[in-house]
Structure 1
Amino acid sequence: MAEPVEHLEPREPVGPLADDPVGLPLIASERVFEGRIWDIRRDTFELGGQSLVREYVDHPGAVAVLALDEADRVFVIRQYRHPVRSRDWEIPAGLLDVADEDPVVAARRELAEEGDLEASEWAVLSDYFTTPGGSDEAIRIFLARGLTPTSEAFDREAEEAHMETRWVDLDECVDAVLARRVQNPSLAMGVLAANAARARGWQTLGPADAAWPGRSRPREEPAPR
């Protein structure tokens, strides 16, 4: 049987299309599974006078980097991802698993560790929730330009030890996304956003330290009860 939903008074649209953060009353919250990287949490909250229970992946969040060189080529990597049994093409990315770490600092680290690259220009390209119906993971994609090699190559291990890297023209990346040949969400979101931003003269970029109200809660922070 379908659950009743909260009915809100109709109102005239105001301003541009935007998500609306809502702080619903939280009755209880408990960690029902503790994983190596992320957990499963069960929340009980009120909506429309009804008590609802939802379980979701409690994720620390992540950053990703769309590194673009002077020839409008994107730095991409391919590595094995076990849940989907695939070696997928991605852009450098990593968890925000250090409490209170500045996202751009994490992005600089990931670009160096996965690409042996550093950048002199950083901007926010896009923010998104990966699976808002089942996870609180939020990812911020940075645009990195002014690229140069790091002084030393990073010593990689596990899946990263077998990574393949490539420079691919941004237009070719867009074609690959639209043809459904690549399916990694940060790659798809990043190249489509970069292509749209380029067409607008890069006027849509945000500063590297732009506010991020949707950022995931750090894992170390206790959940409200």
Structure 2
Amino acid sequence: MSKTVQMSSAERSLGSLIPGADRSTVGAASLVQGVYGHRGNLELVVRDSVDGLWVFWFNANLPGDPETDPEVPAGHWSVGLRFARDARYTQAAIFQGVRGPNHLEVLALDDAGTLQSWYWSPEWAFRRRAENPASEVAAFSAAQQDDGALLIDLTERDGTLRLVVAGPNEYPSRTWAPVDRSTDLGATLAELLVPEPSIPPDVQLRTVGIYDIQSGTARSSISTRDGGSTELIWRGTDGGMRHLRLPLHSET
């Protein structure tokens, strides 16, 4: 997969600075382990301060692995790709799709209150779906189910709470339908939509001696790298987005 030119970034005691992520991005990012590369690259989406979204990816290959991304060496972050232009966003989330050939799913809320649905395919890069999941939205959380369905918990601008879901049929097209909040979804909403780490990301970072964190920007995600890792990302008070890997067996 080729998205843009790469700039090297060394691991530092305060985490690896993600190249370009301090240039014009704002707020917290969303992170997931994808399927690209031999070991599953990390995929990160974050808002541009003025226009659009950025995606950055970490080449999780080890030195000596067959080359899968000639633009980003193993163990480094890309400098990013901007997409979803002509809108300013207030929130975004990324998922590794389980349908389609290596598709990534992105949900993005623009400042007009429209929740947009995007997907990445190797042939077309990022494409926006014609049907929006919702409008008049103030905030959302979302989860992907095992069959590829996307479930979204919405807070509307008037404070109303509601659920919508898009099933996996006819993928990559998605049709959004309301869901009764009392419906048995096979798991509690808290488990599906608000997956809390055993130790919050900001606490994990302070445990390892990192205090230079913009409030509300620390996030964590589990990956299979090096036998299992907690991937921590945060924005420093200098505006830079940083990344640190902690082994799953770490006491922190």
Q: Please give the TM-score of this superposition, normalised by the length of structure 2.
A: 0.24
By percentage of residues, which structure has more helix?
1
Q: Which has the larger radius of gyration?
A: 1
Looking at both structures, which has the greater relative contact order when contacts are Cα pairs under 8 Å and sequence separation is at least 6? 1
